[in-house]
């Protein structure tokens, strides 16, 4: 009788599991391999012992003395103990590197060192003992037993018995999207007297403390470590910071059947205030589980974009396939809801004040500045700048990020369909979204205007002395020119005048790929753009540190880092006393 009962139960369960695997292999693995199969990324070498590099050309401003940190993927091909190679084919998924550039304008030198931040994870992969990994877009090929085991581990660790996969190892998890000096630490992590704090973050609810000089990983923790009420699997890699109150702002997002957003602030001392905790918009409709990479901040409000870029199955596909991208879906014709959360009680309002629908819907990886004003009737107007995408196509074009395409004939375009509302197969990326300004009437919960400030702009940065202020005039960013038969693909820089008083300025050098520019103000400057931009620039197989004049984008100094590519996402800069100057 017992045997018959087991057989009756196991038959449908086994059939369902086989169905899941068939869905994984046929509908996910095969499709994504079309994107990834021809794409090979190269490893970045570690430089653990600092090296002093000399100028190749130009001159570093004598006043520029500080440290630029940059972070991004660097280890893509891992030799396993059986002689095989585990190759990661999506640029977002390489094991993370931290890079440290100590610039000295007095001696005209640059001291450089770097370190891979997930060595324990690399060891797991070498030993073929990694369990339940969730990548952004990479999906390794697996046999049915391997897939079943990894699915079980993910489901158990995230749903049945939630626990961190790093297992207490400070380098046991991949945390490599943003880098923040002087980030407040939870009480359980003790800071030594005079210690400079450096923290890396990602889009999951996980953070990593890094030694500010050697770059050695020291601790992995999460926002729940600050306050038990901050629960959720996801968070924004880009927190927000108020330079006046010294508070940071972020959220934790719980996926699953009932998505939940917990929005909070943290003081320099690590004291937490829960600003909002909600599952529904102000119109009583339930929120989705969107992909949120960054958020806005004004003097009185936190604004979180719920775009129509959502986890279509509440994240179930992510658990099943081990790929965040496999669950991402673009909901056509849906608005983006801007959730406005009060930082302080305003006219008896607190928590979630409004969920303002913006049509057409948009997605943003990276925001620029934001501020609030009053109109003639005294109503509050929110002005929100960001690099905006009008659809979800960019999500399937990101696998080749940071590796420019050489000149040559374009591949024959295949007939396109859609996969989860996103064009498929993806076209070769030839540009970014646009720098867009959204003006919202908070009191009426309406959109006043949507204005394109500049075309083809990503990674917006600005002089952070102007954060939260209306008088911010200039935004710097990256601009992409696709390859042609006669020209290599090029990632340049752009300077945008938000007032329209002058046209945009650009820097391009064919085949060069400029990283997100970091603005450093001149200590004797009198204008908003008196200062320099720092960028890590790749040219196919060579890496440079370049200093630009922020007023005209003219190159001031160039230092060769090495004969390799260092793909990075974001960076921050501190002065020689480790004071935060421009922080991501």
Residue 187: give its domain's CATH number.
2.140.10
Residues 431-461: pLDDT tens digits? 999 999 999 999 999 999 999 999 999 999 9
Answer yes or no: is 125 within a domain: yes
Residue 404: per-residue pLDDT: 80
- Tokens linked to 278: 């909600």
Q: Is residue 9 included in any domain, yes or no?
A: no
* Rounded Cα gap, residues 331 and 313, in angstroms: 12
Mean pLDDT to the nearest integer, 189-203: 94
- Residue 522: how many other CB atoms lie within 10 Å: 16
Measured distance CA(202)–CA(175) in Å, rounded: 6
C-beta of residue 264 within 8 angstroms of C-beta of residue 249: yes
Q: What CA–CA distance (Å, rounded) separates 237 from 72? A: 12
In a domain, 2, yes or no: no
Residue range(s) defining the domain that contains residue 156: 38-404+419-582
Helix (H) or strand (E) holding 211: strand 207-211
pLDDT of residue 150: 84
Question: Known binding site for Fe cation: residues?
Answer: 238, 293, 366, 570
CA distance 471 to 36: 44
| pLDDT at residue 7, rounded to an integer | 33
Token pair 């599991």: residue:
17
Higher confidence at residue 14 or residue 226? 226
Q: How many domains, in total, are found in the chain?
A: 1
Helix (H) / strand (E) element for 197: namely: strand 197-201
For the ranges 20-24, 95-99, 153-157, 190-194, the lowest mean pLDDT is seen at: 20-24
> Strand order in 197-201's β-sheet?
178-181, 197-201, 207-211, 217-221
Residue 8 confidence (pLDDT) above 90: no
- Judge if the upstream peptide bond of residue 441 is cis by omega within 30 degrees of 0: no
- Binding positions are 238, 293, 366, 570
Mean pLDDT of 546-554: 98
Residue 13 belongs to some domain of the structure: no
Task: Say if 30 falls within a structural domain.
Answer: no
Who contacts 24 (Cβ-Cβ below 8 Å, separation ≥6)? 147, 320, 321
How far is 49 from 58, CA to CA, in rounded Å? 26
Q: Which two tokens stand for residue 574?
A: 């501190």
Q: What confidence category does residue 346 fall into, taking pLDDT thresholds of 50, 70 and 90?
A: low
Which pTM value belongs to this model?
A: 0.93
Determine the Cα–Cα distance for residues 229 and 13; give it in Å rounded to an integer: 36
Q: Say how far apart CA 521 and CA 114 lie, in whole Å.
A: 25
Do the domain assignments include residue 445?
yes
Quickly state the pLDDT bin for 2 (edges 50, 70, 90).
Answer: very low
Structure-block tokens of residue 517: 């520019």
Q: Is the pLDDT of residue 191 over 80?
A: yes
28 found inside a domain: no
Is 295 inside any structural domain? yes
Angle at 455 between CA 469 and CA 558, to 5 degrees: 80
Cis peptide before 409 (omega within 30 of 0): no
CB 203 within 8 A of CB 237: yes
Is the pLDDT at 35 greater than 60? The verdict is no
Both structure tokens of 319: 């658990």
Pairing of strands 109-116, 51-54: antiparallel
Residue whose pair of structure tokens reads 């669950």 in the numeric block:
327
* Helix 2-22 × helix 144-155 angle, to 10°: 100
């Amino acid at each position: 009788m017992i045997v018959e009962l087991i057989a009756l139960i196991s038959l449908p369960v086994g059939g369902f599991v086989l169905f899941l695997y068939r869905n994984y292999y046929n509908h996910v693995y095969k499709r994504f391999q079309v994107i990834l199969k021809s794409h090979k990324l190269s490893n970045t070498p570690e430089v653990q012992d600092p090296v002093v590099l000399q100028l190749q050309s130009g001159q570093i401003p004598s006043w520029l003395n500080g440290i630029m940190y940059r972070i991004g993927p660097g280890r893509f091909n891992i030799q396993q103990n059986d002689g095989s190679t585990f190759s990661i084919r999506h640029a977002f998924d390489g094991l993370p590197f931290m890079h440290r550039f100590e610039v000295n304008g007095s001696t005209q030198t640059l001291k450089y060192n770097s370190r891979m931040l997930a060595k324990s994870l690399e060891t797991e992969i070498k030993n073929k003992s990694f369990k339940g990994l969730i990548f952004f877009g990479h999906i390794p090929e697996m046999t049915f037993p391997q897939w079943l085991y990894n699915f079980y581990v993910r489901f158990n660790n995230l749903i049945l018995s939630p626990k961190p996969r790093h297992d207490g190892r400070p380098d046991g998890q991949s945390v490599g999207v943003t880098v923040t000096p002087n980030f407040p630490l939870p009480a359980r992590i003790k800071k030594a007297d005079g210690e400079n704090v450096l923290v890396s973050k990602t889009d999951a609810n996980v953070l990593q403390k890094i030694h500010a000089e050697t770059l050695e990983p020291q601790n992995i923790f999460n926002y729940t470590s600050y306050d038990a009420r901050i629960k959720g699997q996801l968070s924004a890699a880009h927190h927000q910071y108020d330079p006046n109150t010294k508070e940071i702002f972020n959220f934790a997002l719980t996926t699953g059947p009932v998505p939940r957003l917990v929005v909070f602030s943290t003081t320099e001392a690590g004291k937490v205030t829960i600003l909002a905790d909600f599952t529904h918009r102000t119109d009583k409709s339930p929120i989705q589980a969107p992909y949120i990479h960054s958020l806005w901040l004004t003097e009185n409000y936190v604004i979180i974009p719920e775009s129509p870029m959502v986890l279509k199955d509440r994240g179930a596909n992510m658990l099943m396939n081990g790929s965040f991208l496999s669950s991402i879906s673009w909901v056509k014709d849906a608005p983006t809801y801007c959730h406005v959360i009060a930082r302080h009680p305003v006219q008896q309002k607190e928590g979630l004040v409004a969920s303002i629908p913006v049509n057409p819907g948009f997605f943003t990886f990276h925001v620029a500045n934001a501020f609030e004003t009053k109109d003639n009737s005294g109503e509050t107007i929110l002005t929100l700048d960001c690099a905006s995408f009008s659809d979800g196509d960019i999500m399937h074009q990101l696998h080749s990020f940071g590796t420019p395409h050489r000149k040559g004939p374009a591949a024959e375009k295949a007939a396109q369909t859609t996969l989860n509302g996103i064009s498929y197969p993806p076209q070769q990326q030839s540009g970014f979204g646009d720098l867009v300004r959204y003006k919202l009437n908070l009191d009426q919960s309406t959109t006043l205007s949507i204005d394109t400030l500049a075309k083809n702009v990503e990674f917006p940065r600005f002089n952070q002395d102007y954060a939260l202020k209306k008088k911010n005039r200039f935004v710097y960013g990256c601009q992409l020119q696709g390859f042609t038969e006669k020209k290599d693909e090029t990632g340049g820089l752009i300077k945008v005048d938000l007032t329209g008083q002058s046209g945009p300025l650009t820097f391009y050098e064919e085949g060069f790929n400029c990283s997100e520019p970091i603005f450093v103000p001149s200590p004797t400057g009198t204008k908003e753009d008196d200062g320099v931009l720092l960028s890590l620039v790749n040219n196919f197989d060579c890496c440079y540190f370049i200093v630009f004049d922020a007023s005209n984008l003219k190159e001031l100094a160039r230092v060769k880092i090495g004969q390799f590519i260092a793909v990075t996402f974001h960076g921050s800069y501190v002065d020689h006393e480790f004071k935060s100057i421009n922080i991501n």
